[in-house]
């Protein structure tokens, strides 16, 4: 079992759900990213998602795009991110998963990326722009390394294709809650519960819902059908305030916000 498999097995035994916050690596800098990851782990996040900045992100809304731009303006490198991660992972029990473009993985080398990310303590990778038809080689490498390869299903994914994506994925399946880009929303579509329920009956993989989740009400609404919930833009927006506010205060605000979402999971 991978580390992510172990987390979801424990949560299922305890009849609990996962809360997975998203953090952009290097915004405002890697030192603060490390502090945020430690804070989220201390607050009880089941997993953390670490975004690897990319100049042409897939499906990310304006908040996360802006955070990637800020990080890239500092000339941040993958090696620096992994070095930071290697310093954090021995200090936390919470598995950390990289959100990374396939272009970065391909340029780095598929086997090399998995080896280097594992060495840094990462538990897996979410690769949003990897078509299932082209996922075979990376999926094989990840399975051999007990390194989870997480892929995405969207509301417009045909059901036969969704099943192929589930078969290719490991760790968990990332279900995109809405058509469009990431970002905080006041409402989520009613069809979401039915679509996720259909998929859950056809795959043993845990299903985590992301995009648009930002409030305790969202969490309470989706928790019954999901194995976990992913919160990105609302966390990243709070972290961005570190550019103008005392960092200790921002860190506390991020931690308390995530704690309220964890509490809403019940």
Residue 184 has pLDDT above 60, yes or no: no
Sole residue written with tokens 């998602």: 49
**175: CATH:** 3.20.20.70
Q: Is 173 helix (H, G, I), strand (E, B) or coil?
A: strand
Length of the chain, please?
266
What pLDDT, on the 0 to 100 scale, is given for residue 243? 86
CB atoms within 10 A of CB 37: 25
| Token output for 93 | 């029990």
- φ, ψ of residue 208 to 5 degrees: the values are -110, 135
Task: Please give the residue range of the domain that contains residue 50.
Answer: 3-264
Is 127 within 8 Å of 154 (Cβ atoms)?
A: no
% of the chain with per-residue pLDDT over 90: 79
Sole residue written with tokens 């099943």: 163
% of the chain with per-residue pLDDT over 70: 93
CB atoms within 10 A of CB 29: 17
Residue 91 has pLDDT above 50, yes or no: yes
For the annotated catalytic residues, the residue numbers are 49, 60
Q: What total of structural domains would you count in the chain?
A: 1
- Cα–Cα distance measured from residue 254 to residue 266, given in angstroms and rounded to the nearest whole number: 20
Q: Which of the four pLDDT bands, split at 50, 70 and 90, describes residue 185? A: very low
Q: Which of the four pLDDT bands, split at 50, 70 and 90, describes residue 190? A: low
Query: What is the DSSP pairing of strand 228-231 with strand 18-24?
Result: parallel
Give the number of C-alpha atoms closer than 13 A to the C-alpha of residue 92, restricted to the C-beta side: 27
What pLDDT, on the 0 to 100 scale, is given for residue 182? 45
What pLDDT, on the 0 to 100 scale, is given for residue 212? 78
Residue 179 has pLDDT above 60, yes or no: no
Measured CA to CA in angstroms, residue 58 lies from 62, 97, 191, 243 at distances of 12, 17, 23, 25
What pLDDT, on the 0 to 100 scale, is given for residue 112? 98
64 preceded by cis ω (within 30°)?
A: no
**31-78 pLDDT, tens per residue?**
999 999 999 999 999 999 999 999 876 656 788 989 999 999 999 999
Mean pLDDT of 198-227: 90
Least confidently predicted of 46-50, 86-90, 151-155: 151-155
């Amino acid at each position: 079992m991978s580390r992510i498999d172990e987390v979801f097995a424990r949560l299922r035994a305890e009849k609990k759900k996962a809360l997975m916050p998203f953090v952009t690596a290097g915004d405002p800098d890697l030192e603060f990213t490390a502090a945020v990851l430690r804070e989220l782990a201390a607050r009880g996040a089941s997993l953390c998602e670490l975004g690897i900045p990319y100049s042409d992100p897939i499906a990310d809304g304006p908040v996360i795009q802006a955070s990637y731009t800020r990080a890239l303006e500092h000339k941040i490198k993958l090696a620096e991110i992994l070095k930071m991660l290697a310093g954090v992972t021995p200090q936390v029990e919470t598995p950390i998963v990289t959100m990374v473009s396939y272009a970065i993985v391909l340029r780095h080398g598929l086997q090399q990326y998995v080896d280097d990310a594992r060495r840094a303590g990462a538990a897996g990778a979410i690769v949003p722009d990897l078509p299932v038809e082209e996922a075979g080689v990376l999926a094989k490498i990840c399975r051999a390394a007990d390194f989870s390869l997480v892929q995405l299903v969207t509301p417009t994914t045909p059901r036969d294709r969704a099943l192929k994506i589930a078969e290719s994925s490991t760790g968990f399946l990332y279900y995109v809650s809405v058509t469009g880009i990431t970002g905080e929303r006041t409402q989520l579509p009613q069809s979401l519960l039915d679509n996720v329920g259909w998929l859950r009956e056809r795959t043993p993989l845990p299903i985590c819902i992301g995009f648009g989740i930002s409030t305790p009400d969202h969490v309470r609404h989706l928790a019954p059908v999901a194995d976990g919930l992913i919160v990105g833009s609302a966390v990243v927006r709070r972290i961005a305030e570190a550019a103008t506010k005392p960092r200790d205060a921002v860190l506390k605000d991020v931690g308390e916000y995530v704690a309220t979402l964890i509490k809403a999971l019940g």
